[in-house]
Amino acid sequence: MPLLRQVEFAFRIVAGIADPGRLGALQDAGVTAPGYNDAEQNLDLETTARELLRSLGAARIASELRVEWNSRLKTAAGRADYREKLISLNPQLVDHPTEIDRTLRHELAHILAQFRAGRRRISPHGAEWRQACFDLGIADEKRCHNLPFPVRTYTARFIYRCPNCLQEFPRVRRMRRAVACLACCRKHNGGGFDPRFRLQPLSSS
Protein backbone atom coordinates (compact mmCIF):
# COMPACT_ATOMS: atom_id res chain seq x y z
CA MET A 1 0.00 0.00 0.00
CA PRO A 2 1.79 3.12 -1.12
CA LEU A 3 1.72 6.00 1.24
CA LEU A 4 -0.01 9.13 0.18
CA ARG A 5 1.71 12.09 1.64
CA GLN A 6 0.13 15.42 1.17
CA VAL A 7 1.82 17.90 3.37
CA GLU A 8 1.14 21.53 3.62
CA PHE A 9 2.71 24.34 5.48
CA ALA A 10 1.67 27.89 5.90
CA PHE A 11 3.29 30.91 4.40
CA ARG A 12 6.01 32.50 6.35
CA ILE A 13 6.16 36.21 6.61
CA VAL A 14 9.22 37.28 4.70
CA ALA A 15 11.43 39.99 6.00
CA GLY A 16 12.61 42.41 3.40
CA ILE A 17 11.57 43.03 -0.15
CA ALA A 18 12.27 40.46 -2.79
CA ASP A 19 14.70 41.40 -5.49
CA PRO A 20 12.57 42.09 -8.55
CA GLY A 21 15.48 41.21 -10.79
CA ARG A 22 15.18 37.57 -9.83
CA LEU A 23 11.52 37.27 -10.71
CA GLY A 24 12.11 35.94 -14.18
CA ALA A 25 14.75 33.51 -13.04
CA LEU A 26 12.66 31.29 -10.86
CA GLN A 27 9.04 31.67 -11.58
CA ASP A 28 8.25 29.48 -14.53
CA ALA A 29 9.28 27.47 -17.51
CA GLY A 30 8.04 29.59 -20.34
CA VAL A 31 9.43 29.88 -23.84
CA THR A 32 9.30 33.34 -25.27
CA ALA A 33 8.73 34.18 -28.87
CA PRO A 34 11.75 34.38 -31.17
CA GLY A 35 13.55 37.65 -30.81
CA TYR A 36 13.19 37.76 -27.08
CA ASN A 37 16.12 35.84 -25.77
CA ASP A 38 16.37 36.01 -22.02
CA ALA A 39 18.07 32.85 -20.83
CA GLU A 40 17.11 33.44 -17.23
CA GLN A 41 13.48 33.44 -18.18
CA ASN A 42 13.68 29.79 -19.07
CA LEU A 43 15.17 28.46 -15.87
CA ASP A 44 13.11 25.51 -14.95
CA LEU A 45 12.08 24.67 -11.41
CA GLU A 46 11.47 21.07 -12.34
CA THR A 47 14.96 20.72 -13.76
CA THR A 48 16.41 22.21 -10.60
CA ALA A 49 14.44 19.85 -8.40
CA ARG A 50 15.39 16.80 -10.44
CA GLU A 51 19.06 17.72 -10.36
CA LEU A 52 18.90 18.11 -6.59
CA LEU A 53 17.37 14.64 -6.26
CA ARG A 54 20.03 13.12 -8.50
CA SER A 55 22.81 14.77 -6.55
CA LEU A 56 21.42 13.28 -3.34
CA GLY A 57 21.16 9.68 -4.46
CA ALA A 58 17.52 9.69 -5.52
CA ALA A 59 18.15 9.37 -9.26
CA ARG A 60 15.61 6.57 -9.47
CA ILE A 61 12.70 8.95 -8.91
CA ALA A 62 14.29 12.14 -10.23
CA SER A 63 12.88 11.91 -13.73
CA GLU A 64 9.39 11.18 -12.39
CA LEU A 65 9.29 14.32 -10.31
CA ARG A 66 7.06 17.13 -11.50
CA VAL A 67 6.73 20.65 -10.19
CA GLU A 68 3.55 22.61 -10.81
CA TRP A 69 2.04 25.93 -9.93
CA ASN A 70 -1.41 25.37 -8.53
CA SER A 71 -3.78 28.26 -7.95
CA ARG A 72 -6.06 26.01 -5.91
CA LEU A 73 -3.55 26.21 -3.07
CA LYS A 74 -4.93 28.97 -0.91
CA THR A 75 -3.10 29.19 2.41
CA ALA A 76 -0.33 26.66 1.88
CA ALA A 77 2.89 27.77 0.21
CA GLY A 78 3.45 24.34 -1.20
CA ARG A 79 2.52 20.69 -1.13
CA ALA A 80 4.38 17.46 -1.75
CA ASP A 81 2.70 14.29 -2.93
CA TYR A 82 5.14 11.39 -2.77
CA ARG A 83 2.95 8.86 -4.52
CA GLU A 84 2.40 11.20 -7.46
CA LYS A 85 5.97 12.54 -7.25
CA LEU A 86 4.42 15.97 -7.50
CA ILE A 87 5.36 19.25 -5.87
CA SER A 88 2.73 21.97 -6.05
CA LEU A 89 3.61 25.59 -5.44
CA ASN A 90 1.26 28.44 -4.64
CA PRO A 91 1.34 31.10 -7.39
CA GLN A 92 1.25 33.75 -4.69
CA LEU A 93 4.93 32.91 -4.06
CA VAL A 94 5.72 34.82 -7.21
CA ASP A 95 5.44 37.98 -5.15
CA HIS A 96 8.20 36.60 -2.91
CA PRO A 97 10.79 35.15 -5.28
CA THR A 98 13.30 34.37 -2.56
CA GLU A 99 10.69 32.09 -1.05
CA ILE A 100 10.18 30.08 -4.22
CA ASP A 101 13.48 28.24 -3.90
CA ARG A 102 13.03 27.77 -0.16
CA THR A 103 9.55 26.34 -0.62
CA LEU A 104 10.72 24.09 -3.43
CA ARG A 105 13.42 22.67 -1.16
CA HIS A 106 11.03 22.28 1.78
CA GLU A 107 8.68 20.22 -0.38
CA LEU A 108 11.55 18.36 -2.01
CA ALA A 109 12.71 17.38 1.47
CA HIS A 110 9.40 15.57 1.98
CA ILE A 111 9.93 13.66 -1.27
CA LEU A 112 13.57 12.84 -0.48
CA ALA A 113 12.80 11.76 3.09
CA GLN A 114 10.07 9.36 1.97
CA PHE A 115 12.26 8.01 -0.83
CA ARG A 116 14.99 7.19 1.68
CA ALA A 117 12.51 5.66 4.13
CA GLY A 118 11.05 3.37 1.49
CA ARG A 119 7.83 1.83 2.73
CA ARG A 120 8.49 2.82 6.29
CA ARG A 121 6.09 5.38 7.67
CA ILE A 122 7.74 8.62 8.73
CA SER A 123 6.30 11.65 10.38
CA PRO A 124 5.93 14.60 8.00
CA HIS A 125 8.38 16.93 9.72
CA GLY A 126 10.35 14.35 11.70
CA ALA A 127 14.01 13.42 11.82
CA GLU A 128 14.09 12.08 8.24
CA TRP A 129 12.64 15.30 6.88
CA ARG A 130 15.06 17.41 8.92
CA GLN A 131 17.99 15.39 7.57
CA ALA A 132 16.72 15.90 4.04
CA CYS A 133 16.44 19.65 4.70
CA PHE A 134 20.03 19.65 5.88
CA ASP A 135 21.14 17.84 2.73
CA LEU A 136 19.17 20.30 0.59
CA GLY A 137 20.88 23.28 2.15
CA ILE A 138 18.01 24.49 4.31
CA ALA A 139 19.13 23.10 7.66
CA ASP A 140 17.36 25.90 9.48
CA GLU A 141 14.00 25.15 7.88
CA LYS A 142 11.18 25.13 10.40
CA ARG A 143 7.80 23.61 10.28
CA CYS A 144 5.72 26.76 10.22
CA HIS A 145 2.15 25.74 9.82
CA ASN A 146 0.97 27.68 12.85
CA LEU A 147 1.70 31.14 11.50
CA PRO A 148 -1.46 32.81 10.35
CA PHE A 149 -0.79 34.48 7.07
CA PRO A 150 -2.78 37.41 5.77
CA VAL A 151 -3.28 36.27 2.22
CA ARG A 152 -5.07 39.48 1.32
CA THR A 153 -1.82 41.44 1.63
CA TYR A 154 -0.67 39.92 -1.63
CA THR A 155 -0.88 42.11 -4.64
CA ALA A 156 -2.87 41.33 -7.72
CA ARG A 157 -1.28 38.89 -10.04
CA PHE A 158 -1.87 37.20 -13.35
CA ILE A 159 -2.13 33.52 -13.96
CA TYR A 160 -1.66 32.01 -17.39
CA ARG A 161 -2.20 28.44 -18.46
CA CYS A 162 -0.81 26.20 -21.16
CA PRO A 163 -3.75 25.09 -23.35
CA ASN A 164 -2.08 21.72 -23.88
CA CYS A 165 -0.80 20.43 -20.52
CA LEU A 166 -2.81 22.88 -18.35
CA GLN A 167 0.27 23.84 -16.35
CA GLU A 168 -0.18 27.22 -14.69
CA PHE A 169 2.24 30.14 -14.98
CA PRO A 170 1.85 32.89 -12.41
CA ARG A 171 3.13 36.33 -13.24
CA VAL A 172 3.39 39.51 -11.28
CA ARG A 173 2.68 41.57 -14.36
CA ARG A 174 0.61 41.10 -17.44
CA MET A 175 2.54 39.36 -20.22
CA ARG A 176 3.47 41.74 -22.99
CA ARG A 177 4.97 39.12 -25.27
CA ALA A 178 3.93 35.78 -26.64
CA VAL A 179 5.10 33.10 -24.23
CA ALA A 180 4.64 29.38 -24.73
CA CYS A 181 4.91 26.42 -22.37
CA LEU A 182 8.50 25.16 -22.25
CA ALA A 183 7.56 21.56 -21.43
CA CYS A 184 5.23 21.29 -24.40
CA CYS A 185 7.60 23.12 -26.73
CA ARG A 186 10.33 20.67 -25.75
CA LYS A 187 8.10 17.68 -26.16
CA HIS A 188 6.51 18.57 -29.47
CA ASN A 189 8.70 21.22 -31.10
CA GLY A 190 12.31 20.54 -30.15
CA GLY A 191 12.25 23.32 -27.58
CA GLY A 192 11.41 26.09 -30.02
CA PHE A 193 8.56 28.50 -29.60
CA ASP A 194 5.29 26.98 -30.81
CA PRO A 195 2.16 29.16 -30.93
CA ARG A 196 -0.04 26.13 -30.24
CA PHE A 197 1.29 26.18 -26.69
CA ARG A 198 1.02 29.89 -26.17
CA LEU A 199 0.00 30.64 -22.59
CA GLN A 200 -3.53 31.88 -22.08
CA PRO A 201 -4.71 34.18 -19.28
CA LEU A 202 -6.61 32.29 -16.62
CA SER A 203 -7.45 34.97 -14.10
CA SER A 204 -6.29 38.28 -12.77
CA SER A 205 -7.49 37.92 -9.22
Contact residues toward Zn ion (CB under 5 A) are 7, 9, 162, 164-165, 181, 183-184
Residue with smaller CB distance to Zn ion, 9 or 69:
9
Run of H or E including 161: strand 158-161
Q: How far is the CB of 7 from Zn ion (least distance, A)?
A: 5
> Which is nearer to Zn ion, 26 or 199 (by Cβ)?
199
* E strand or H helix that includes residue 168: strand 168-171
* Nearest distance in Å: CB 77, Zn ion: 9
**Spatial distance between the Cα atoms of 9 and 6, rounded to a whole number of angstroms:** 10
d(CA 47, CA 50): 5
Least distance in angstroms from the C-beta of 135 to Zn ion:
15
| Residues 131 and 112 sit within 8 Å (Cβ to Cβ) | no
Q: φ, ψ for residue 37 (rounded to 5)? A: -120, 75
CB 165 → Zn ion: shortest distance, Å?
A: 3
Closest to Zn ion by CB, 22 or 143: 143
Q: Of the two residues 19 and 191, which places its CB atom closer to Zn ion in the complex? A: 191
